[in-house]
Protein backbone atom coordinates (compact mmCIF):
# COMPACT_ATOMS: atom_id res chain seq x y z
CA UNK A 1 0.00 0.00 0.00
CA UNK A 2 2.85 2.39 0.89
CA UNK A 3 6.48 1.63 0.13
CA UNK A 4 9.40 2.86 -1.94
CA UNK A 5 7.70 1.90 -5.20
CA UNK A 6 4.19 3.25 -4.56
CA UNK A 7 4.91 6.39 -2.53
CA UNK A 8 8.68 7.00 -2.62
CA UNK A 9 8.79 6.24 1.09
CA UNK A 10 12.19 5.22 2.43
CA UNK A 11 11.13 5.02 6.08
CA UNK A 12 7.57 3.67 6.12
CA UNK A 13 6.09 0.39 4.89
CA UNK A 14 2.34 -0.28 5.11
CA UNK A 15 0.55 -3.32 3.74
CA UNK A 16 -2.67 -5.25 4.26
CA UNK A 17 -3.37 -8.93 4.81
CA UNK A 18 -6.76 -10.64 5.03
CA UNK A 19 -7.05 -13.77 7.16
CA UNK A 20 -10.13 -15.91 6.44
CA UNK A 21 -11.90 -17.59 9.39
CA UNK A 22 -9.67 -20.22 10.96
CA UNK A 23 -6.45 -18.85 9.44
CA UNK A 24 -3.58 -17.48 11.47
CA UNK A 25 -0.55 -15.23 11.21
CA UNK A 26 2.01 -17.33 13.07
CA UNK A 27 4.01 -15.84 15.90
CA UNK A 28 7.09 -14.08 14.57
CA UNK A 29 9.33 -11.14 15.34
CA UNK A 30 11.72 -8.68 13.74
CA UNK A 31 14.94 -8.12 15.69
CA UNK A 32 15.79 -4.73 14.18
CA UNK A 33 12.49 -2.88 13.67
CA UNK A 34 9.40 -1.89 15.61
CA UNK A 35 6.09 -3.04 14.12
CA UNK A 36 2.43 -2.32 14.68
CA UNK A 37 -0.80 -3.38 13.04
CA UNK A 38 -4.42 -2.31 13.22
CA UNK A 39 -7.36 -4.71 13.11
CA UNK A 40 -9.71 -2.98 10.67
CA UNK A 41 -12.39 -5.67 10.72
CA UNK A 42 -13.07 -9.10 12.15
CA UNK A 43 -11.89 -10.57 15.44
CA UNK A 44 -9.49 -13.12 16.82
CA UNK A 45 -6.69 -13.59 19.32
CA UNK A 46 -3.39 -11.72 19.43
CA UNK A 47 -0.37 -13.63 20.75
CA UNK A 48 2.61 -11.71 22.15
CA UNK A 49 5.54 -12.48 24.44
CA UNK A 50 3.24 -11.78 27.38
CA UNK A 51 0.48 -14.20 26.41
CA UNK A 52 -2.67 -14.53 24.31
CA UNK A 53 -5.80 -12.34 24.47
CA UNK A 54 -8.86 -11.40 22.44
CA UNK A 55 -8.54 -8.71 19.77
CA UNK A 56 -11.07 -7.08 17.47
CA UNK A 57 -11.88 -4.21 15.16
CA UNK A 58 -10.13 -0.97 16.09
CA UNK A 59 -7.38 -2.57 18.16
CA UNK A 60 -3.82 -1.35 17.60
CA UNK A 61 -1.09 -3.82 18.53
CA UNK A 62 2.48 -2.57 18.91
CA UNK A 63 5.43 -4.97 18.91
CA UNK A 64 8.82 -3.45 19.85
CA UNK A 65 11.91 -4.68 18.05
CA UNK A 66 13.19 -7.95 19.43
CA UNK A 67 9.70 -9.14 20.48
CA UNK A 68 7.19 -11.43 18.78
CA UNK A 69 3.51 -11.39 17.82
CA UNK A 70 0.92 -13.52 16.05
CA UNK A 71 -2.79 -13.39 15.22
CA UNK A 72 -5.45 -16.12 14.95
CA UNK A 73 -8.77 -15.39 13.23
CA UNK A 74 -11.21 -17.19 15.52
CA UNK A 75 -14.21 -15.21 14.24
CA UNK A 76 -16.71 -15.90 11.46
CA UNK A 77 -15.59 -13.20 8.99
CA UNK A 78 -12.35 -12.22 7.32
CA UNK A 79 -9.91 -10.36 9.55
CA UNK A 80 -7.62 -7.74 8.08
CA UNK A 81 -4.29 -7.73 9.92
CA UNK A 82 -0.50 -7.30 9.42
CA UNK A 83 1.39 -6.43 6.24
CA UNK A 84 2.26 -9.14 3.74
CA UNK A 85 5.09 -7.30 2.01
CA UNK A 86 8.66 -6.50 2.97
CA UNK A 87 11.47 -4.34 1.64
CA UNK A 88 14.87 -6.03 1.67
CA UNK A 89 18.26 -4.43 1.09
CA UNK A 90 20.72 -6.29 -1.12
CA UNK A 91 23.69 -4.03 -0.40
CA UNK A 92 26.88 -6.04 0.12
CA UNK A 93 25.19 -9.25 -0.96
CA UNK A 94 27.13 -11.50 -3.32
CA UNK A 95 24.47 -13.35 -5.32
CA UNK A 96 20.93 -12.83 -3.94
CA UNK A 97 18.15 -15.23 -4.85
CA UNK A 98 14.42 -15.38 -4.07
CA UNK A 99 12.79 -18.79 -3.69
CA UNK A 100 8.98 -19.17 -3.59
CA UNK A 101 8.18 -22.05 -1.25
CA UNK A 102 5.33 -23.80 0.50
CA UNK A 103 5.38 -23.52 4.28
CA UNK A 104 4.09 -26.57 6.17
CA UNK A 105 2.56 -25.61 9.53
CA UNK A 106 2.52 -28.20 12.32
CA UNK A 107 -0.25 -28.36 14.94
CA UNK A 108 0.91 -31.55 16.67
CA UNK A 109 4.32 -32.76 17.81
CA UNK A 110 5.64 -35.43 15.44
CA UNK A 111 7.86 -38.22 16.71
CA UNK A 112 10.66 -39.76 14.59
CA UNK A 113 9.48 -42.77 12.62
CA UNK A 114 5.87 -41.60 12.42
CA UNK A 115 3.83 -43.23 9.68
CA UNK A 116 2.13 -41.36 6.85
CA UNK A 117 -1.29 -41.10 8.52
CA UNK A 118 0.19 -39.74 11.76
CA UNK A 119 2.27 -37.23 9.83
CA UNK A 120 -0.73 -35.96 7.87
CA UNK A 121 -2.72 -35.62 11.09
CA UNK A 122 0.03 -33.40 12.54
CA UNK A 123 -0.09 -30.87 9.67
CA UNK A 124 -2.31 -27.84 10.37
CA UNK A 125 -2.16 -26.49 6.83
CA UNK A 126 -0.04 -24.91 4.13
CA UNK A 127 0.89 -21.33 3.31
CA UNK A 128 3.13 -19.28 1.02
CA UNK A 129 6.71 -18.31 1.84
CA UNK A 130 9.58 -16.58 0.08
CA UNK A 131 13.11 -17.40 1.20
CA UNK A 132 15.89 -14.92 0.48
CA UNK A 133 19.29 -16.52 0.05
CA UNK A 134 22.73 -15.10 -0.69
CA UNK A 135 25.23 -17.43 -2.35
CA UNK A 136 28.25 -15.74 -0.79
CA UNK A 137 30.76 -18.60 -0.92
CA UNK A 138 31.43 -21.77 -2.99
CA UNK A 139 28.75 -24.45 -2.73
CA UNK A 140 31.47 -27.08 -2.33
CA UNK A 141 32.28 -25.56 1.07
CA UNK A 142 29.78 -27.66 3.02
CA UNK A 143 31.03 -26.59 6.45
CA UNK A 144 30.85 -22.93 5.45
CA UNK A 145 27.38 -23.38 4.00
CA UNK A 146 26.07 -24.90 7.23
CA UNK A 147 27.76 -22.29 9.43
CA UNK A 148 26.09 -19.53 7.34
CA UNK A 149 22.58 -20.99 7.78
CA UNK A 150 22.59 -22.59 4.31
CA UNK A 151 22.80 -19.17 2.59
CA UNK A 152 19.52 -17.99 4.16
CA UNK A 153 19.26 -14.25 4.88
CA UNK A 154 15.52 -13.50 5.21
CA UNK A 155 12.12 -15.18 5.11
CA UNK A 156 8.62 -13.82 4.57
CA UNK A 157 5.53 -15.97 5.11
CA UNK A 158 1.82 -15.68 4.51
CA UNK A 159 -0.85 -17.17 6.81
CA UNK A 160 -1.52 -20.86 7.28
CA UNK A 161 -4.47 -22.12 5.22
CA UNK A 162 -6.25 -24.85 7.17
CA UNK A 163 -8.15 -25.96 4.08
CA UNK A 164 -4.88 -27.72 3.20
CA UNK A 165 -4.56 -29.51 6.54
CA UNK A 166 -2.84 -32.88 6.08
CA UNK A 167 -0.30 -31.31 3.71
CA UNK A 168 -1.78 -32.37 0.38
CA UNK A 169 -1.62 -29.45 -2.13
CA UNK A 170 -4.14 -31.02 -4.51
CA UNK A 171 -5.89 -28.32 -6.55
CA UNK A 172 -3.50 -25.63 -5.32
CA UNK A 173 -2.19 -23.21 -7.94
CA UNK A 174 0.76 -20.83 -7.66
CA UNK A 175 1.83 -17.86 -9.75
CA UNK A 176 5.06 -15.89 -9.44
CA UNK A 177 5.63 -12.40 -10.85
CA UNK A 178 8.92 -10.59 -11.30
CA UNK A 179 8.52 -6.81 -11.57
CA UNK A 180 5.03 -7.21 -13.00
CA UNK A 181 5.92 -10.02 -15.44
CA UNK A 182 4.59 -13.50 -14.75
CA UNK A 183 7.46 -16.00 -14.69
CA UNK A 184 5.63 -19.07 -13.34
CA UNK A 185 2.09 -20.44 -13.33
CA UNK A 186 1.96 -23.94 -11.93
CA UNK A 187 -0.30 -26.55 -10.34
CA UNK A 188 2.24 -29.30 -9.57
CA UNK A 189 3.82 -27.64 -6.55
CA UNK A 190 5.79 -30.75 -5.54
CA UNK A 191 7.54 -31.25 -8.89
CA UNK A 192 10.88 -29.82 -7.72
CA UNK A 193 10.66 -30.42 -3.98
CA UNK A 194 9.20 -33.90 -3.71
CA UNK A 195 6.15 -34.83 -1.65
CA UNK A 196 5.52 -32.51 1.29
CA UNK A 197 4.43 -35.30 3.62
CA UNK A 198 7.68 -37.17 2.96
CA UNK A 199 9.65 -33.97 3.65
CA UNK A 200 7.93 -33.62 7.04
CA UNK A 201 8.66 -37.27 7.89
CA UNK A 202 12.31 -36.86 6.91
CA UNK A 203 12.63 -33.68 8.96
CA UNK A 204 11.21 -35.40 12.05
CA UNK A 205 13.58 -38.35 11.57
CA UNK A 206 16.68 -36.17 11.14
CA UNK A 207 15.80 -34.08 14.20
CA UNK A 208 15.27 -37.28 16.18
CA UNK A 209 18.74 -38.50 15.25
CA UNK A 210 20.15 -35.43 17.00
CA UNK A 211 17.86 -35.70 20.01
CA UNK A 212 15.47 -32.94 18.84
CA UNK A 213 11.76 -33.04 18.04
CA UNK A 214 9.46 -31.51 15.44
CA UNK A 215 6.98 -29.76 17.70
CA UNK A 216 3.51 -28.29 17.39
CA UNK A 217 3.83 -24.73 16.08
CA UNK A 218 6.96 -25.45 14.07
CA UNK A 219 6.98 -24.48 10.39
CA UNK A 220 8.92 -26.19 7.60
CA UNK A 221 9.75 -24.29 4.43
CA UNK A 222 9.80 -27.16 2.01
CA UNK A 223 12.07 -26.00 -0.83
CA UNK A 224 11.66 -23.74 -3.82
CA UNK A 225 8.81 -24.62 -6.18
CA UNK A 226 10.66 -22.77 -8.99
CA UNK A 227 14.29 -22.47 -9.96
CA UNK A 228 16.07 -19.81 -7.86
CA UNK A 229 15.21 -16.27 -8.99
CA UNK A 230 18.44 -14.24 -9.09
CA UNK A 231 17.31 -10.75 -8.10
CA UNK A 232 18.59 -7.22 -8.74
CA UNK A 233 17.97 -3.86 -7.08
CA UNK A 234 14.67 -2.28 -8.07
CA UNK A 235 12.87 -5.58 -8.62
CA UNK A 236 9.72 -6.94 -7.00
CA UNK A 237 8.92 -10.60 -6.47
CA UNK A 238 5.24 -11.44 -5.87
CA UNK A 239 4.09 -14.93 -4.91
CA UNK A 240 0.38 -15.67 -5.49
CA UNK A 241 -0.95 -18.80 -3.86
CA UNK A 242 -4.51 -19.54 -4.97
CA UNK A 243 -5.89 -19.85 -1.44
CA UNK A 244 -4.75 -16.53 0.07
CA UNK A 245 -3.48 -12.99 -0.37
CA UNK A 246 -0.13 -12.69 -2.22
CA UNK A 247 3.13 -12.02 -0.42
CA UNK A 248 5.85 -9.88 -1.97
CA UNK A 249 9.36 -8.53 -1.57
CA UNK A 250 10.77 -5.28 -2.94
CA UNK A 251 14.48 -4.64 -3.47
CA UNK A 252 15.09 -0.85 -3.44
CA UNK A 253 17.43 0.97 -5.80
CA UNK A 254 18.30 4.14 -3.88
CA UNK A 255 21.76 4.04 -2.35
CA UNK A 256 20.48 6.25 0.46
CA UNK A 257 18.87 3.07 1.75
CA UNK A 258 22.31 1.62 2.45
CA UNK A 259 22.19 2.66 6.10
CA UNK A 260 18.65 1.48 6.74
CA UNK A 261 18.55 -1.59 8.96
CA UNK A 262 16.96 -4.49 7.01
CA UNK A 263 14.00 -6.42 8.36
pTM: 0.66
Q: What is the pLDDT of residue 76?
A: 61
Which of these, 93, 90, 80, lies nearest to 42 by C-alpha position?
A: 80
Fold of 84-259: Fumarylacetoacetate hydrolase; domain 2 (3.90.850)
Q: Supply the mean pLDDT for the chain.
A: 82
Show me where the domains of the chain are located: 17-82, 84-259
How many of the other CB atoms lie within 10 Å of CB of 137? 14
Q: How confident is the model at residue 261 (pLDDT cuts 50, 70, 90)?
A: very low
pLDDT of 149 > 90? The answer is no
Range scoring the smallest mean pLDDT among 99-108, 146-155, 171-180: 146-155
pLDDT of 169 > 80? The answer is yes
Pick the CATH number of 17-82 from 3.30.450.20, 3.40.640.10, 3.90.320.10, 2.60.120.10: 2.60.120.10
Kindly report, residue by residue over 193-207, the tens digit of the pLDDT. 999 999 999 999 999
Residue 119 makes CB contacts below 8 A (sequence gap 6+) with 110, 167, 197, 200, 201, 204
Amino acid sequence: MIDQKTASSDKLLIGRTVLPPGARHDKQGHPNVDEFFVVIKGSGHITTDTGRESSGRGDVIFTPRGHRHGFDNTGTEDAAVPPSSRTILVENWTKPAAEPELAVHLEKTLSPGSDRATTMHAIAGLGPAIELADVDHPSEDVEGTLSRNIYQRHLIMGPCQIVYAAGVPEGLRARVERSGVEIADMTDLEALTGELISIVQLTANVLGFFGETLDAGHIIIAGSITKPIWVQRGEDIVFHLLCCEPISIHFPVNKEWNERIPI
